[in-house]
Structure 1
Amino acid sequence: MSDGFQFLDIILFAAIAGFLVLRLRSVLGKRTGHGERPQHDPFSTTQRESKQGAPGGEDRDKVIPMPGRGQRGDSVTDSELRQAAERAETPLSAGLTQIKLADPDFDEEGFLKGARGAFEMIVNAYAGGDRDTLRQLLASDVYQDFERAIAGHEQAGEQVETTLVSIRDADIVGAELEGRTAFVTVKLVSDQINVVRDAEGNVVEGDPEEVTEITDVWTFARNTRSSDPNWTLVATRSPDADS
């Protein structure tokens, strides 16, 4: 009888975990996680930049009009998107305006709320080696970098411990509409405790008593013509990458 109750508990906990992941992705879908990191750091990847140009680099001022009109932006023409970009005072406002025209449901405040939640879940999933959660929230190239870092720690017999003390700030610093895809870049400033221990539990990196302020720049993407409301993390970098 005791084994039966334990089996039911396992099913219940698995169901709750699955619900939390789906809930977070739902929140992100409504538009609504500087310093040093461990040596194997997946958060410094630049997959999107290598393929489509860095949001903060020389391509930042280039806004490519959406060639077609999707389910949410059927009434928006390419000409209207170009005119909106021309009237905007900054590349950021131009990008946000175009995204809102393509997807009227987009809301900065709600998006940032979801980005904070995604940041917390992804940071904790990486530290815990939770590949299933990461696979649901990351683009394939970004996931591969995270997975390699996790595997490296596992092969070395190391354990990553991350305590996300707080997320101090989250700001949208970049926005672009490239074809039918919206890209929104967020700068997140957080206080964290990061420690790596060896197989014997000895600290090999970090300090369990030290809280470090860390700044991350993450880019999320979504196809505005898709009925799927979820956003995916497509690139991560540090602010130093923009200098």
Structure 2
Amino acid sequence: MYVIVILAMIAGFLALRLYSVLGKRTGHEQEPALRPAEERAKVTVLQPSPVPQGAGDSVRLAEGLIAPGAEHGVRALIAVDRSFDVPQFVDGAKSAYKMVLEAFWRGDRDELAWLCDADVLASFDAAIAAREAEGHVLDNRLVRIEKAQIIEASVKDRIAEVALRFEADIAAVTRDKDGNVVAGSMTDAVGTRDVWTFTRDIRSADPNWKLSETDEG
């Protein structure tokens, strides 16, 4: 399905700042794996794929991936974009969730700019700046994603939006400039719940989806 361009995010919860930026978190976070800009084109989190004749119903095959009440919106999206595949999209969204978190944790503004729309990027940038001003560094780890499920989908004026709820375990440590632990624990992962919305103009030649909204789940 479409490359869902979005990569690594979320902090060791610098107080309530992180809550407002990413949604409610009851957990800890992750350490980054750098991804050079020149390798971005290689990231195929969600990639368009041809729809073979007689292919299975993407909604019917997406057991557990679509929340009750969201199926109608997903079918409406598939009706205008036949290449939209639910299982592939959810897999890509999970990869995107991890990538955005990691980019946010390491303060990689360039990576976030490539993956997020302007409003989300501004929120992340403000949180990163506040963290930098305090001299804090995040040492976080995404332990696992327990569940990712589409909870809403819509198409309006050819703009597609898909919202997913993520349930994950995150371990996080916040350190000061000298490396001393300020908060958190890498041995005590905590559950988190987020709702992230991805958006794409299906008229555009650009196949990429952008992270357009974050909220608590």
- Do these two structures clear the TM 0.5 threshold for a shared fold by scoring above it? yes
Q: Distance in 1 between the 2:206 and 2:105 partners? A: 28
TM-score w.r.t. length of structure 1: 0.64
Report Cα offsets for 1:5-25 as digits up to 9, x if no partner.
Answer: xxxxxxxxxxxxxxxxxxxx9
Structure with greater proportional helix content: 1
Q: Distance in 2 between the 1:26 and 1:217 partners? A: 20
Structure with greater proportional strand content: 2
Report Cα offsets for 1:49-73 as digits up to 9, x if no partner.
Answer: xxxxxxxxxxxxxxxxxxxxxxxxx
Q: Distance in 2 between the 1:26 and 1:223 partners? A: 11
Q: Is 1:44 the equivalent of 2:20? A: no
Q: Is 1:158 the equivalent of 2:136? A: yes
Q: Is 1:233 the equivalent of 2:214? A: no
Percent identity over the alignment? 34
Superposition misfits of 4+ residues, deviation over 3 angstroms: none
Q: Distance in 2 between the 1:26 and 1:185 partners? A: 15
What is the root-mean-square deviation in Å for CA atoms of aligned residues? 2.0
Q: Which has the higher contact order (CA 8 A, sep 6+)?
A: 2
SS in structure 2 at match of 1:126: helix
SS in structure 1 at match of 2:83: coil
Give the one of 154, 157, 167 matched to 1:176. Answer: 154
Mark the CA change 1:38 to 1:156 in structure 2 (over 3 Å): closer, same or farther: closer
Q: Distance in 2 between the 1:194 and 1:141 partners? A: 25
Q: Which residue of 2 aligns with 1:135?
A: 113
Q: Which residue of 1 aligns with 2:172?
A: 194
> Which structure would you say has the larger Rg?
1
SS in structure 1 at match of 2:82: coil
User: Which amino acid letter does the alignment assign opposite residue 136 of structure 1?
Assistant: W
Report Cα offsets for 1:75-131 as digits up to 9, x if no partner.
Answer: xxxxxxxxxxxxxxx741221111111111011111011101111111011111111
Report Cα offsets for 1:21-59 as digits up to 9, x if no partner.
Answer: xxxx96327xxx7xx9332212139xxxxxxxxxxxxxx
Q: Distance in 2 between the 1:27 and 1:175 partners? A: 17
Q: Which residue of 2 aligns with 1:7?
A: none
TM-score w.r.t. length of structure 2: 0.71
Q: How many residues align?
A: 166
User: Which amino acid letter does the alignment assign opposite residue 205 of structure 1?
Assistant: A
Q: Distance in 1 between the 2:157 and 2:13 partners? A: 35
SS in structure 2 at match of 1:27: coil
